[in-house]
């Protein structure tokens, strides 16, 4: 099925550990995004990639890095996880200016 695929779906990390969240889309969209969702705060943009080869900071980039590996894939890396990064992470893709398609999310717990 066409869409946005995120892996893993669940992850528990210890403080200080690192990990990479993977995201791939097969809709040939130019733009991809990483959001985090926290109760009562909606979705906040972490990083985005308007097109292959470009990445930019969003609203809450601290503690994260991203890589736009190719047009299909956009990964999010936590170099040293902190409890404040416990959240649900959503990847999305779109044509620039168009509607977003979201992945199913990664529920991350940092202990």
Partner 1 sequence: AQSVSQHNHHVILSEAASLELGCNYSYGGTVNLFWYVQYPGQHLQLLLKYFSGDPLVKGIKGFEAEFIKSKFSFNLRKPSVQWSDTAEYFCAVKPGNTGKLIFGQGTTLQVKP
Which residues of the shown chain bind partner 1 in the complex (CB under 8 A)?
Answer: 31, 33, 35, 40-45, 48, 50, 58, 90, 94, 96-100, 102-105
Q: How far is the CB of 37 from partner 1 (least distance, A)?
A: 8
Q: How far is the CB of 59 from partner 1 (least distance, A)?
A: 8
Residue pointed to by tokens 């509607």: 99
Q: Which is nearer to partner 1, 47 or 81 (CB)?
A: 47
Q: Which is nearer to partner 1, 33 or 64 (CB)?
A: 33
Cβ atoms 56, 49 nearer than 8 A: yes
Q: How far is the CB of 105 from partner 1 (least distance, A)?
A: 6
- Could you write out the DSSP letters of every residue in 2-42? -SEEEE-SEEEE-TT--EEEEEEE-S--SEEEEEEEETTTE
Q: Which is nearer to partner 1, 17 or 102 (CB)?
A: 102
Give the separation between CA 20 and CA 16, rounded to whole angstroms.
13
Q: How far is the CB of 32 from partner 1 (least distance, A)?
A: 10
Give the separation between CA 104 and CA 23, rounded to whole angstroms.
10
Q: Which is nearer to partner 1, 17 or 58 (CB)?
A: 58
Give the separation between CA 45 and CA 2, rounded to whole angstroms.
23
């Amino acid at each position: 099925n066409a869409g946005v695929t995120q892996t893993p779906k669940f992850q528990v990390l210890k403080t200080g550990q690192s990990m990479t969240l993977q995201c791939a889309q097969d809709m040939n969209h130019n733009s991809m995004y990483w959001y985090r969702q926290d109760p009562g705060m909606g979705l906040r943009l972490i990083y985005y990639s308007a097109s292959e080869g470009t990445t930019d900071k969003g609203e809450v980039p601290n503690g994260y890095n991203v890589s736009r590996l190719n047009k299909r894939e956009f990964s999010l890396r936590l170099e040293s996880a902190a409890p404040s990064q416990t959240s649900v992470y959503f990847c999305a893709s779109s044509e620039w200016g168009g509607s977003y398609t979201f992945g199913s999310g990664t529920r991350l717990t940092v202990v």
